[in-house]
Copies of this chain bind each other. A is one copy, B any other.
Amino acid sequence: MTEKKRTTIVLFSGDYDKVMAAYIIANGAAAYDHEVTIFHTFWGLNALRKDEDIEVPKTFMEKMFGKMMPRGADKMGISKMNFAGFGPKMIKDVMKKHNALTVPQLIEMAQEQEIKLVACTMTMDLLGLNQVELLDDIEYAGVAAYLADAQEGNVNLFI
Residue-wise interface mask of A (139-150) relative to B, using a CB-CB cutoff of 8 A (1 in contact, 0 not): 000011011101
Q: Mark A residues whose CB is within 8 Å of B.
A: 1, 5, 7, 10, 12, 14, 17-18, 21, 24-25, 28-29, 31-32, 34, 41-43, 61, 64-65, 68-69, 79-81, 90-91, 93-95, 97-98, 100, 122, 125-128, 143-144, 146-148, 150-151, 153-159
Bound form: Cα–Cα A97–B62 in Å: 12
User: In the complex, how many angstroms separate the beta carbon of A113 from the nearest chain B beta carbon?
Assistant: 14
Say yes or no: A34 contacts B151, CB within 8 Å.
yes
A19 CA to B85 CA in the complex, in Å?
25
Check A143 against B1 for contact (C-beta < 8 Å). no
Task: Let me know if B1 and A12 touch, CB within 8 A.
Answer: no
Residue of A21, A68, A97, A128 with most partner-chain B CB within 10 A: A21
Cβ–Cβ contact A151 & B151, under 8 A: no
Chain B: minimal CB distance from A65 (Å): 8
In the assembled complex, which residues on chain B have CB atoms less than 8 Å from the CB atom of A126? 91, 94-95, 98, 100
